[in-house]
Structure 1
Amino acid sequence: MVRTRLYRDGALVSEGFPIAEVSDHVCDPGNVVWFDLCAPSAGDLELIAEELGLHALAVEDVFQEHQRPKVDVYDTHLFITAYWLHMQDSGLDAVEINIFATRNALVTVRENEHFDIDRVTARWDAAGDLAKNGVPFLLHGLLDYVVDSHFELVESFDEQVEALEEQLFDERPMSREDSRKMFTLRKNMAGLRKVAAPMREVVNTLLRRDLDVATPEMTPYYQDLYDHVLRVAEWTENLRDLMSNLRETHMSQQGFRLNEIMKKLTGWAAVIAVPTMITGYYGQNVPYPGYGTSLGFWSSTLVILVASGLLYLAFKKRDWL
């Protein structure tokens, strides 16, 4: 499904028109055109490239998987790659968004329909007073929505890390399921960092004066976007370090619990060893005081109880039991 919009003098005058009319609208310098493609074929994109004069390398990058977030500057347009992120089945789903920005046209190419373009158009409509800024306004609204998805994720990850911190020092040791959650969280945070960190360079490039993207009226909005990108990147780095500390603390606690268990087992083995020694000694086949009488039995039992009790108290005092 192709989405199209036409702005003239900062006002939305048409939308949903055929993509074949784009070239006619772009010829008028007073018009700003946006259209969206979802998983287009190579043939579809080549036709648009001819209409707008898009560089062949930029068109080729659209079909290259696992591109790094970036901005490529060409003579007639910018090519931007970014990723919108969301959680799906406890895993991180990254949807690649490729953007062509010319003087008066913005083309968005979505990898799939997981990226809801209607939310972007809703943001444009909510800030309609800025629409007179043309392509810089449209590009900012799109990137702002992308960066907000990163921000929401890092907030969610921060809450999960706090829950793990509280659980780490509970009396109940972490289960295998908890360890799996920790591993999944580390994996998702690595995926977020891979996407969020390069966005600093992307937005910083767009702030360059020679590109005429951050116009005087739009500059504060792009600076605010850059601030959000920095916060996400720094927050992700801090959480990454914190997760490493949590993992090391978890491993140390496992070793500590194992030492505690071994200490208790050793203490009980010592307690049991004394009665075993006494009964073994009295089991020798020679006469001893009380041999063959009930007095000998009760005296040996008393010695066992007293010796075991003294050992238990001694170990308990040293926190061995």
Structure 2
Amino acid sequence: MANLPSFFARLFHATQPTRDLDIGQLNGLEPDDEALLWIDLCDPSAQQVELVWEQCRLPAAARRFLADGSTTPEVGQEDQYLWVRCVVVNGRTRREAMSGTVLTCVAGPNRVLTHRRGEVPFMEELRRLGIAHTAIGGLSAESFVATLLDRQLATYFDAVSDYEDAIERLEVAILGKSAGDSLPELQRLRRWASRMRRMLAPHRNVFGAMSRPDFRPDEGRSADRHFVALDTRFERAMDMVENARELVIGSFELFSNKTALRTNHFMRVLTFVTVITGVLATVVGAMGMNFQADLFGSGDAGFWSVVAVLVAFAAGALWAGWRRHWF
């Protein structure tokens, strides 16, 4: 993030060339209905925030909302302005551990301000669109915010996709020879799923409030359709996250069953070896009885004959057990 400018402003226009602006050009700027001003603040200084707020004449309530430093998703509005706070999945760390970046959006008449303290991939992509991208100029501020929130939800879909890939690799490992080494990965994925749900679930109040008809009654049905679609997409994301938690539970059951099968296999081997050892011990014990049989007077030849018979018996028993898949 060291090479990423903390201030970025672009004026999109539907019929005129789109242009990037300096912070000094914001003073008194009033975009018309065919234009959209987007200001992106990435880890800005307090002085930059205050200057932007003053030049764009943004509401003080939105400034207090931004300054409270909370990470809980929340939405608010006042007169012609709305503001929303959400959490974006950090794309660089989601494969190791779930973490998020707080994204705050403030929208008013033909202007949108975004604020974040870390890199957000889809925001950097939007910065790189280039000044030739004029389609955004035809969007209202509410539609632009809905676009950003839709991309925010897409980060959770991407995280679930990565999670499912990790689950598949884990199950292949469990079914292979390294099942005993899978427990740490199971624990990591379980924490991953729980963290992902804790990050997404608090957004229910945000998308639920934005989808109500009384949230932005003056903006027409276009904004309503966008926000209702966002709420539906959020519910789909929640279903996928809940399913992800069930996947790791199923993987743990697979791990438990594989461990039980390995234990049963070892017990069968130990039982078979115990039977063979018991038979050999019985034979050796019988050879130690104090009867004056001719066999006990055969000397070294008799001793080595008995040892050979015992070894042959053990080898034959092991071969028969292997052939019958007893172990």
Identify whether the pair has TM-score above 0.5, normalized to the shorter chain.
yes
Could you say what secondary structure the match of 2:98 adopts? strand
Q: Aligned residue for 2:248?
A: 243
Residues 26, 299 of structure 1: CA spacing in aligned structure 2 closer, same or farther, 3 A cutoff?
A: same
Give the Cα–Cα distance (whole angstroms) in 2 for the partners of residues 29 and 185 of structure 1: 48
Q: Aligned residue for 2:145?
A: 139
Could you say what secondary structure the match of 1:188 adopts? helix
Structure 2 gap ranges (5+):
none
Q: What TM-score, normalized to structure 1?
A: 0.80
Residue 286 of structure 2 corresponds to residue 287 of structure 1: no
Give the alignment of 1:1-321 within 5 angstroms: 1=5, 2-7=7-12, 10-11=14-15, 13-26=17-30, 32-50=36-54, 51-55=57-61, 56-61=63-68, 63-64=69-70, 67-75=71-79, 77-85=81-89, 86-88=91-93, 90-115=96-121, 117-121=123-127, 128-129=134-135, 131-170=137-176, 172-176=177-181, 178-212=182-216, 215-284=220-289, 286-293=291-298, 297=303, 300=306, 304=310, 308=314, 320-321=326-327
Give the Cα–Cα distance (whole angstroms) in 1 for the partners of residues 122 and 244 of structure 2: 28
Q: CA deviation at 1:106?
A: 1.1
Give the Cα–Cα distance (whole angstroms) in 2 for the partners of residues 283 and 305 of structure 1: 18
Residues 205, 127 of structure 1: CA spacing in aligned structure 2 closer, same or farther, 3 A cutoff?
A: farther
Higher RCO (CA-CA < 8 Å; seq separation 6+)? 2
Q: Is the 8 A contact 1:4 1:18 kept in 2?
A: yes
* Mean CA deviation greater in 269-278 or 300-309: 300-309
Give the Cα–Cα distance (whole angstroms) in 2 for the partners of residues 166 and 223 of structure 1: 40
Q: Partner letter of residue 81 of structure 1?
A: R
Q: Partner letter of residue 34 of structure 1?
A: W
Task: Number of aligned residue pairs: give it.
Answer: 315
Q: Partner letter of residue 251 of structure 1?
A: S
Give the Cα–Cα distance (whole angstroms) in 2 for the partners of residues 113 and 159 of structure 1: 24
Give the Cα–Cα distance (whole angstroms) in 1 for the partners of residues 223 and 249 of structure 2: 39
Q: CA deviation at 1:275?
A: 1.1
Give the Cα–Cα distance (whole angstroms) in 2 for the partners of residues 302 and 180 of structure 1: 48
Q: Is the 8 A contact 1:84 1:146 kept in 2?
A: yes
User: 1:214-257: per-residue Cα shift (whole Å, max 9, x none)?
Assistant: 74234444444333322221011012012112213312432332
Give the Cα–Cα distance (whole angstroms) in 2 for the partners of residues 158 and 92 of structure 1: 14
Q: Partner letter of residue 157 of structure 1?
A: Y
Residues 186, 150 of structure 1: CA spacing in aligned structure 2 closer, same or farther, 3 A cutoff?
A: same
Q: Is the 8 A contact 1:124 1:138 kept in 2?
A: no
Q: CA deviation at 1:116?
A: 5.0
User: 1:107-157: per-residue Cα shift (whole Å, max 9, x none)?
Assistant: 101212354524235679898546434201221221222222221221222
Q: What TM-score, normalized to structure 2?
A: 0.79
User: 1:164-195: per-residue Cα shift (whole Å, max 9, x none)?
Assistant: 3344334x24142x333333333322232222
Q: Is the 8 A contact 2:42 2:118 kept in 1?
A: yes
Q: Is the 8 A contact 2:170 2:185 kept in 1?
A: no
Q: CA deviation at 1:98?
A: 1.2
Q: Is the 8 A contact 2:35 2:138 kept in 1?
A: no
Q: Partner letter of residue 193 of structure 1?
A: R
Give the Cα–Cα distance (whole angstroms) in 1 for the partners of residues 8 and 210 of structure 2: 25
Q: Partner letter of residue 110 of structure 2?
A: N
Q: Taking every aligned residue pair, what percent have the same amino acid on both sides? A: 22
User: 1:37-77: per-residue Cα shift (whole Å, max 9, x none)?
Assistant: 1112233323434431231530323x34xx12222334553
Q: Is the 8 A contact 1:45 1:59 kept in 2?
A: no
User: 1:249-278: per-residue Cα shift (whole Å, max 9, x none)?
Assistant: 312432332232123112202202211221
Computed over aligned residues only, the root mean square deviation of the Cα atoms, in angstroms, reads 3.5
